[in-house]
Amino acid sequence: MVSAPFLVSAPGKIILFGEHAAVYGKPAIAAAVSLRSYLLTTKHAAEFSDCVTLEFPDVKLQYSWKIHSLPWNVVPKRSMDTVRPPSELNTALMEALEQSLVAVLNPLQRSAALAFLYLYLCLCSPDMPGMTFSVRSTLPIGAGLGSSASVSVCLAAALCLLSGEVSPPETKGDDDSDFNAANYASIELIDAWAFLGERCIHGNPSGIDNAVASHGGAVMFQRMTKGNPNVRESMRNFPPLKLLLIDSRQPRRTAVQVANVATLLQNYPLVTEPILNGIQALTSEAYKLLLMPKEKCDDVWEERLRELVRVNHGLLVALGVSHPKLEAIRMAADELEIGETKLTGAGGGGCAITLVKRDVEESRILELKERLEGHGFEVFETSLGGFGAGCLLPTKSDAAEWEEWEDKLFSLHHMLGLGDREDIQKTVGVGSIDGWAFW
């Protein structure tokens, strides 16, 4: 069992093909990005030891509950036969949590606090010491890059560590592909709990975002249907793709976009089902292309992939999840003949990706960036694939080291509250400081 203080982190993702259709059991392809969420867990001072506190400055939420005021009495008993949580939320607990959240009205804050409380009550116990859970993301929030899932994975990982449901990652061999059964069991459990966090945040998630945020890398994911389990194929030799990631900065909530598609499907099943089937077919085509050996990834291969990006976007437009700002991004990339563009994630705003032609001159890409930034859009540089969930624990081997860590942690605490994206990345970031270990 791990005790505070410690940090956990999980990445965001880019869905390359298949968003929305993924909710209906169709395959989708996504990869982790280097932008991540970080969660710092610290113990309260003695005078606040009966409180649990959330510090979520990215959504301007700071809130404390008296631990004993929370509805521990309705927490569902865990089945002894299985360690995995059920995939449905418990209605009685959800209803009881309404009471604990009466003062948190903003939907962005409320959904994040609900995800925390649900997981906290299910995984912890009322006799645990008072703690603060501070979250910061280097990801844009509500922009299609899976910030909700990366936060859900962080919450699940921290609470599973505190409750002893999982152990910190065991060191893998030098080769990152080395399989470690204990780590695998831990990350599967974190993924399953994070799915419930995602459910709290947006109702009907497919599970692809939490799968990528937990496991990292690139995956083809298909949600379970009719009792068949989820499929999660790790795509190890994912080809290097030249992508631009552009945030339209148009805020939207995944919950709303997913609900709009559900309404369209209900009102026009004969129209909407073929669109979802079309997305399924193109994702399967893309999957075959992305698994091709490197020597076959020629110009024709590249053009095919771009065509599929274009068609996927068109079908998402038909589902009603684009936005004039996303269309402006697509048109700018089309005009400069940079490549093909699609929205990524739930749409309605948020991010688009452009799959850049290999032979496009850098000057044209620069021109596109300038045009987009001139319109108030943000162009991100990020790499695909990479680590999934991990944690950073203080080493307890000697007192001096511990003190040094506590000092550092104190400044981290402020950094997590105040710094901008670069500060966070520099101070605690995966890839910036040593000590991170991954499941």
Ligand X SMILES: C[C@@](O)(CCOP(=O)(O)O)CC(=O)O
Active-site residues, by number, are: 209
CB of 271 to ligand ADP, least distance (A): 26
Q: How many CA atoms lie within 13 A of 146 on its CB side?
A: 35
Binding test (CB under 6 A) with ligand ADP, winner from 18, 144, 197, 347: 144
Measured CA to CA, the distance from residue 125 to residue 393 in angstroms comes to 22
Residue with tokens 């929370």: 70
Judged by beta carbon distances under 5 to 8 A according to partner kind, the member of ligand ADP, ligand X, Mg ion, none in contact with residue 108 is ligand ADP
Measured CA to CA, the distance from residue 22 to residue 261 in angstroms comes to 12
Which residues would be at the binding site for ligand X (CB under 6 A)?
Answer: 19-20, 22-23, 144-146, 148, 205-206, 208-209, 254, 258, 345-346
When computed from its CA atoms, the radius of gyration of the chain, rounded to whole angstroms, is 22
Judged by beta carbon distances under 5 to 8 A according to partner kind, the member of ligand X, Mg ion, ligand ADP, none in contact with residue 22 is ligand X
Q: Interior CA angle at 230 toward 225 and 231, to 5°?
A: 115
Residue ranges of E strands in 242-366:
243-247, 339-343, 351-356
Measured CA to CA, the distance from residue 18 to residue 219 in angstroms comes to 12
Judged by beta carbon distances under 5 to 8 A according to partner kind, the member of Mg ion, ligand ADP, ligand X, none in contact with residue 330 is none
Binding test (CB under 6 A) with ligand ADP, winner from 59, 308, 316, 384: 59
Q: Does 23 bind ligand ADP (CB under 6 A)?
A: no
CB of 85 to ligand ADP, least distance (A): 20
Interface characters, 237-276, with ligand ADP (x: CB under 6 A): ----------------xx----------------------
Q: Does 210 bind Mg ion (CB under 5 A)?
A: no
Nearer to ligand ADP (CB atom), residue 137 or residue 186: 137
CB of 207 to ligand X, least distance (A): 7
Binding test (CB under 6 A) with ligand ADP, winner from 31, 104, 121, 135: 135
Q: Which residues pair with 131 in a beta bridge?
A: 43, 52
Burial 274-285 (b: 16+ CB within 10 A, else e): ebbebbbebbbb
Residue with tokens 């959800």: 94
How many CB atoms are closer than 10 A to CB 211?
Answer: 26
Measured CA to CA, the distance from residue 223 to residue 230 in angstroms comes to 5
Q: Does 141 bind ligand ADP (CB under 6 A)?
A: yes
Element (H or E) spanning 184, and its range? helix 181-202
Q: What are phi and psi of 244, to 5 degrees?
A: -105, 140
Residue 145 identity: L
CB of 265 to Mg ion, least distance (A): 20
Nearer to ligand X (CB atom), residue 144 or residue 169: 144
Q: Does 214 bind ligand ADP (CB under 6 A)?
A: no
Question: Residue 430 is encoded by which pair of tokens?
Answer: 């995966």
Nearer to ligand X (CB atom), residue 5 or residue 11: 11
Judged by beta carbon distances under 5 to 8 A according to partner kind, the member of ligand X, Mg ion, ligand ADP, none in contact with residue 340 is none
Judged by beta carbon distances under 5 to 8 A according to partner kind, the member of Mg ion, ligand X, ligand ADP, none in contact with residue 365 is none
CB of 132 to ligand ADP, least distance (A): 14
CB of 279 to ligand X, least distance (A): 10
Q: Which residues contact 78 (CB under 8 A, 6 or more apart)?
A: 85
Interface characters, 330-369, with ligand ADP (x: CB under 6 A): ---------------x------------------------
Q: Does 201 bind ligand ADP (CB under 6 A)?
A: yes
Binding test (CB under 5 A) with Mg ion, winner from 254, 280, 354, 425: 254
Measured CA to CA, the distance from residue 139 to residue 11 in angstroms comes to 9
Measured CA to CA, the distance from residue 42 to residue 3 in angstroms comes to 9
Judged by beta carbon distances under 5 to 8 A according to partner kind, the member of ligand ADP, Mg ion, ligand X, none in contact with residue 116 is none
Binding test (CB under 6 A) with ligand ADP, winner from 111, 134, 186, 214: 111
Residue 342's nearest CA partner among 358, 367, 318, 374 is 318
